[in-house]
A and B are shown apart, each in its own frame.
Chain A
Amino acid sequence: MNRYPLWKNLLVIAVVLFGVIFAMPNIFGDAPAVQITRVDSNKLAPAALDRAVDALKKANIPYTTARHGAQKDVIVFPNTGAQLRGNRMISDTLGDNYSVAQNLVPQTPGWMQSLGLKPMAKGLDLVGGIYFRLRVDVQESIDHTLDNDLSSIQTSLREADVRYSDASRKGQTLQFTFPNAQARSKAESVVRKNYPKATFTDYSVKGKAVARMTPSPARLQQMRNLAIEENVAALRRRVNELGVAEPIVQRQGQGYIVVELPGLQNAARAKQQLGDTATVQFRMVYQGADAQQAARTGQVPLDAQLYRDKNGQPVLLKRQIVASGPEITDATSGFDQQSGSPDVNVSLNSAGAARMGKVTRHNIGKPMAVLLIQNRTESKKVDGKTVTTTKKIKKVINVATIRGVFSSQFQITGLTQEEAKSLALTLRTPLAAPVNVVEERTIGPSLGQQNIHYGFAAVVLGFALVVLGMAIYYKVFGLIADAALIMNLVLVVALLSLLQATLTLPGIAGIVLTVGMAVDANVLIYERIREELRIGSSPQAAIQAGYDRAMATIFDSNITTLIAGLVLFAIGTGPVKGFAVTLTLGIITSMFTAIMGTRAIVNAVFGGRRLKSLPV
């Protein structure tokens, strides 16, 4: 009696082996390192690493290993002091084309890494870093798309010879006015070809035929998704240039993006760089009137607009835009070769380049201006509610005389080095819609260390207390439950490593909690065995009945905790999600270890023997 079939024993052994193998990478710890990547997406040449290593040797900064890779080079340091100095030295040596970031690399042996075995991923509250939650102003992007729709519809109406007297956008509705209903129905059939799912509503205003067109809900949703996806992609590129090892940029729900920057400390700079929506327009300076006078009298010519330059001096620009931000395909910061002042090298796409070429050819000797447009969000309390408004700040940053014909490649000057750098990045990775930081968390590295330390201490103490308690109360059976408890801990760590779920401080607390709750199954079984013995069952029959009878109860009671864990997982974010993950995994694995695991041991030790009593 009480013998386990071979397959069950093998299953238990297999699971234990699985747990040990996948949990193993965690025992090696991390080492301070510096990683080098290229700012652009080109492959990394081995020369960069050689230069970095040479610089370290010259400066007598100790390092343990330097590894070259196609995506990134990694240099490991013996301590954080050397890492800090090394980071500065490498960053100075390699210059702007490389992104140099401090990192913690797992010390897992190479053969384990090549098998894909990784340690658990640690959350920001354990390693330090910055967390941002950004709200995407999708409306602005939708408005922009609808404006584009409007002008393309106008073009197609003109091409189809349909006359209309007015076309405008009101919120999310496009409104067209036609001389008569005939023209309107013809127009609608033209527009329907391109927008088959849009809704048209006809009105008659003062004898004129009016049509209102609303995009289909599916299309609006698509626009929303596109804006967010594009922003995620742009933010990813921006984050890569911040010099962060293993950043996370993730969409969250219907209008949020979460950015996690491990190891970074300067929140203000990161925030500025992530949220920057600056763009530029290239326009000819209006020369038909005096700017000073226009500013004084407020009389601005119809085809001109009044702006101010950096010194607050008024400048009149033609309304017509020669080229603008969306037409820029690439932008890099550098220095002007003649003057040595900072500049931004801009490349335009073919449409922009064609227009730029035409305009410069006809306007040699005349001044052209660069207009910088920045978004500033401000919030005010109005009637107790917070109202966020986005203000566009437009400023002429540079006026230069056109000296020769140029089209796709040219420079923007008139900026400081910092400004040139950040403008180049912003133009290179434009955001589809403005973003606002609505949540920001900075965790210092010392706090991360402290959290790991406390969490680890709690696991050790909690574990020791329970192991001791079970051994005292249930003797040999208690020790068997303790073995299952160790197995459970190993399994949770193994699963966390395998799934690469993020371990957080509440996550560690969840592990501690499951240590306490996991014994419940064994307590239930052992109490049943004791009961059976009390009513006079033989030891073997008591074991059998104890396990059988407790089974239903164990399932019922664990499922309710599992429900709470899953709901928590669904709604929780960040650290709390970590708690839900460890709690849920812990419950599932404990059902296996506490029932099958202990039974395998109990059967191996006591099964098939004549027993007078049980040490329970």
Chain B
Amino acid sequence: MELFKRQTHFNFLRTRKIALAMSLVVLAAAVASFTTRGLNLGIDFTGGVIVQVSYPQPISTDTVRAQLTQAGFKNFTAQHFGAPTDVMVRLQPRGDQVAKDEGAAVVKTLQKQNPKVQEKQVNVVGPQVGGQLRNQGALALLVTLILIFVYLLVRFEWRLALGAVAATVHDVVFTVGIFSFTHWQFNLDVLAAVLAVLGYSVNDTVVVFDRIRENFKRMRRGTPMEIMNAAINQTLSRTIMTSGMTLLVVIALLVVGGAALRGFSLALLIGIIVGTYSSIYIASATALMLGVSRQHFAAKKRAAAEEQP
């Protein structure tokens, strides 16, 4: 089976300005959402208490809320988690010392009303720890980006390296933006997924760039835009196939991986889709606009040729 029987000749880069403009608008929206709405950070980053309990029968969160309010708990949220029988209660942090067995108190309160309530997990994170993780997370993103940029700088021309980093930043901002916009919870797992997206997105871009470099060296004729278009077309089947296969496994994670992996899988799903788009439009288009051309690749070849008598 083949997706395309013949070599395709789509002119991807002709629409680069529209694509870039669209992306810029979306990114601006993401940043706006991030600055105004912020992220719905999980307790990993804010500190606080999370209690997950399981009932033998489906239970309404209102009932749970009423029971906890009656017992004197304040500043908490209660939501279903994964199933109508499972409830997740989240309490705001109080002081740095882990709130004195507050999680256990929640479980006890609920068990008093229904002795069959099962404690599934209790997580207590001090706010200082949360702050540390927040800094570490941001640092990790930055360090990864820098390392990848340095690697690409060594392997490719700086215009291409910058294009790849632009595409990667685009993917991260987009993914985080969606989490901000939808107010999905952003926890440590989601951060890990965002970092994986970072790696994946560059991976995708590098394949296209490898072909661009090869084409610049081999194709005698054609404008930079034609050469880059050819590279994107030549790698199109691969791009679709690999992204498709990775999407398949991410969908498997999303469908059967359970509630605990939902945020993680969603971040990957979004990241892989935009990562595929950005390696075509953002990465290549940015490099093209930075003025990448044949002589940037021919230089090395000529120098090598001159050495030979």
Contacts and interface: CB of A to CB of B under 8 A. Distances in A.
A462 B248 contact: yes
A267 B2 CA distance: 57
A515 B97 CA distance: 42
Contacts of B202: 557, 560-561, 564
A388 B98 CA distance: 11
Contacts of B155: 556
A438 B98 CA distance: 5
A527 interface: yes
Nearest to A561: B199
Contact of A513 (B97, B238, B249): B249
B140 A568 contact: yes
Contacts of B152: 560
A166 interface: no
B258 A454 contact: yes
B198 interface: yes
A469 interface: yes
A512 B121 contact: no
Interface in B258-276: 258, 260-261, 264-265, 268
Contacts of A133: 129
A62 to B, nearest CB: 26
A440 interface: yes
Contacts of A517: 200, 203, 242, 246
B298 interface: no
B238 to A, nearest CB: 5
A458 interface: yes
Nearest to A473: B1
Interface in B236-260: 237-238, 241-242, 244-253, 255-258, 260
B119 A444 contact: yes
Contact of B103 (A442, A462, A534): A442
Interface stretch (A332-340, A423-431, A492-500, A576-584): A576-584
B234 to A, nearest CB: 7
Q: What interface size band does chain A fall in? A: 35 or more
Nearest to A256: B129
Most buried by B among A470, A519, A520, A534: A520
Interface in B204-227: 204, 206-207, 210-211
A350 interface: no
Nearest to B234: A531
Contacts of B120: 443-444, 446-447
A267 B122 CA distance: 9
Interface stretch (B60-68, B141-149, B284-292): B141-149
A466 interface: yes
A470 B245 CA distance: 8
Given A438-B128, A444-B118, A444-B121, A571 B257 contact: no
B283 interface: no
A505 B261 contact: yes
Given A506-B189, A509-B257, A563 B264 contact: no
The 4 A-B pairs with the shortest beta carbon distances in the complex, nearest first, are: A564-B199, A454-B258, A379-B95, A561-B199
Interface of A: 125, 133, 135, 265, 267-268, 271, 377-381, 386, 388, 436-444, 446-447, 450-451, 453-455, 457-458, 461-463, 465-466, 469-470, 472-475, 505-506, 509-510, 512-513, 515-517, 519-520, 523-524, 527, 530-531, 534, 552-553, 556-565, 567-568, 570-572, 575-576, 579-580, 583
28 contacts: A135-B128, A268-B101, A386-B127, A437-B126, A440-B103, A444-B120, A444-B121, A446-B118, A454-B258, A455-B258, A466-B249, A469-B245, A469-B248, A505-B260, A509-B264, A513-B250, A513-B253, A519-B242, A520-B245, A556-B210, A557-B203, A558-B203, A560-B203, A563-B144, A564-B195, A572-B140, A575-B189, A579-B189
Given A438-B129, A557-B202, 8 more contacts: A380-B95, A441-B124, A472-B1, A512-B253, A512-B257, A517-B242, A564-B144, A567-B140
